Structure 1
Amino acid sequence: MTDHQLPDPVVRISSAQEIARDVVVVPNQHAELVPNIGVIGGKHAVLVVDTGLGPENAESVLAFARDHAKGRKLYLTTTHFHPEHAFGAQVFAGEATFLVNQAQAEDLADKGAGYLEMFRGLGPTIARRLEGVRVPTPDVVYEESHDLDLGGRVVRLRAVGRAHSRGDQVITVPDAEVLFTGDLVETGRFAIFPWFPPHDTDVSGLRWIEVLARLVAAAPRIVVPGHGDVGGTQKVEAVLDYLRELRDETWVRRDSAMGRETTIEEVRAVLIERHPEWTGQEWIDAGVACLCAEHGG
């Protein structure tokens, strides 16, 4: 996934900020393998969105959520099954009800162990963060949608179908017009395509484009991406524009019968020239390979 030594992915609770009434985000501050984490409150309950990587980070998130809740019931959900988002959920057992969509639960069961081992191979710092981790099992599983009543505030959990992963879900706070996207949206970087054939080929560039088009149409006031800066609908639009650009540059070459490797090389060069300030250049190749596989239907 990366050739350089990754820094310690610490969730820094001290940076927490309220972005709407009783909606708090612990921003990732552009740190690799650190997600934006949400804490959403109602009169009777609080929902935590994502855990950070490993038990130590999750313990910090749980302590913060517990203090914020001040006796209110705790719930936990995760935007998708990838380790920095979900592999701290075991810490919440007995203190929060963990609920996710069916496809994400299947991802955890089918691919969780493999991703745990893959992430442990990213270096000693990441391996240490994952010591003692167990692949989490949700307490509550819903099919496609679930409205969670926190007391005077309903939070909508929606499975979007196959896109960045098989089990992506978005979390909406309608009364605050806030949308948590998980890794469907990331800012300041090339979109992450977890395209690892034959082990995992569930990412779909075409479906991802469809999902983002729907999110743009919903016009949320505040968007909390999986990683990167909080902003407005333009954060979703920027990723949608990039994915369309990636698809078009890939397919015009495949239409001309250009070989896969040459296509990857040419598209990589074009996109880096257009977005020289973005990080994550290593993910361009995987995105092109995925869209090559989707070319022609």
Structure 2
Amino acid sequence: MAEHVLQDPVVQVTEVRELARDLVVIPDRRVQLVPNIGIIGGREAVLVVETGLGPGNAAKVLEFAADYAQGRRLFLTTTHFHPEHSFGAQVFAGEATFLVNRAQAEDLKVKGAGYLEMFKGLGEPVARRLRGVELVEPDVVYDEAYDLDLGGRVVQLRATGRAHSKGDQVIRVPDADVLFTGDLVEAAQFAIFPWFPPYDADVSGTRWLAVMQRLAAEGAGVVVPGHGDVGGPQLLTDVRDYLRLLRDETWIRRDSAVGEQTIIDEISALMIERHPEWAGREWIEKGVSCLCTEHPA
């Protein structure tokens, strides 16, 4: 990872935002390694989206969700396997049914332990949050699509295919026109490319762009990004347009046989000029490096 995290990545359940009837978000408050967490209710059950980083955060989320559910059955899903999104699932064991897509389950099985060790190296606050983490297998695994009936409200879980990770999924609540994207979308932040060859090179800029083109075409009234403020459909088009520009500018330079470091320097300057207010500038370099490998020969 590009830099250590100095702030404690703690989930706070004091500023919960209601997005629609029986649908709330525990916001990330712009704290690194804290995701936006969703609680989606129906007559008979409640779905929790994301756990927070580690068992302590997950315990807070579970306590809030159980109080919110008021006796309704609990389900848990995660948008992808990365630690701040899913490394608290153990706390929900026996309390909620944990379901994800097959590619995400495989990511967790194959890469989970490695990511646990990598994230422990991000600083003492993160390492402390990750103490006692046990990686658990989901209770239910689906292939590409799963419609979860919560009682009067059906929530659509959809695997997107390889993009930010191999196992990304989005969660759509059709009756409320709300879409949870995980790290396919961040608000006011450059797209996070977990490009760490040879350890992890599953992120794909071209496939990610294809996913965002599809999501932007489908639209959503309310978009809950992995990190950053909840917004509207503009969040989808912002990421789509950024990824398209990143690909095009990288490939134009690659066609001219420009060296990779020169490409990185030029495109970083261009993107920062376009979006000076966006966070995560270090991820531009990772995106360029990824797209260099995807350049058509």
Structure 1 and Structure 2 fold alike (TM over 0.5): yes
Please list the CA deviations of residues 236-271 of structure 1 after superposition, one character each: whole Å capped at 9, or x if unmatched. 111111111111111110011111121111111111
Corresponding residue for 2:47?
47
- Deviation per residue, 1:13-47 (Å, 9 max, x gap): 01111101111000101110000000000000000
Residue type of the alignment partner of 1:40: I
Asked whether 1:170 is paired with 2:165, we answer no
How far apart, in 2, do the equivalents of 1:207 and 1:96 lie? 32
- Give matches, 1:1-297, under 5 Å: 1-296=1-296
Q: Number of aligned residue pairs: give it.
A: 297
State percent identity of aligned pairs.
69
| Offset of residue 274 of structure 1 | 1.7
User: 1:162 and 1:208 mapped to 2: Cα distance?
Assistant: 7
**Distance in 2 between residues matched to 1:80 and 1:180, nearest whole Å:** 12
C-alpha separation in 1, matches of 2:115 and 2:192: 15
Q: Which amino acid in structure 1 is aligned with residue 289 of structure 2?
A: A
Could you tell me which runs of 5 or more consecutive residues in structure 2 were left unpaired when the two chains were aligned.
none
1:174-233 deviations in Å (ceiling 9; x for gaps): 111110000000011111000010111110111111101111111211110000111111
Asked if 2 retains the 8 angstrom alpha-carbon contact of 1:86 and 1:136, the reply is no
Distance 1:264 1:17 in 2: 39
Give the partner amino acid of 1:53. Answer: L
How far apart are 1:5 and its partner, in Å? 4.2
Counterpart contact for 1:81–1:108, Cα < 8 Å? yes
Q: C-alpha distance in 1, partners of 2:83/2:231?
A: 24
CA distance in 1, matches of 2:5, 2:178: 34
The normalised TM-score by structure 2 is 0.98
Matched letter for residue 73 of structure 1 = R
Q: Which segments of structure 1 move beyond 4 Å, counting only runs of 4 or more?
A: none
Shift of 1:278: 1.0
How far apart are the structure 2 equivalents of 1:189 and 1:179? 18
Opposite residue 283 of structure 1, the aligned amino acid is W
Asked if structure 2 preserves the Cα contact closer than 8 Å seen for 1:162 and 1:203, the reply is: yes
Secondary structure of the equivalent of 1:62?
Answer: helix
Q: What CA distance in whole angstroms lies between the structure 2 residues aligned with 1:246 and 1:2?
A: 19
Q: CA RMSD in A?
A: 0.9
Deviation at 1:4, TM superposition (A): 4.4
Could you tell me the TM-score, scaled by structure 1's length? 0.98
Q: Distance in 2 between matches of 1:44 and 1:81?
A: 27
User: What is the distance in 2 between the residues matched to 1:217 and 1:260?
Assistant: 32
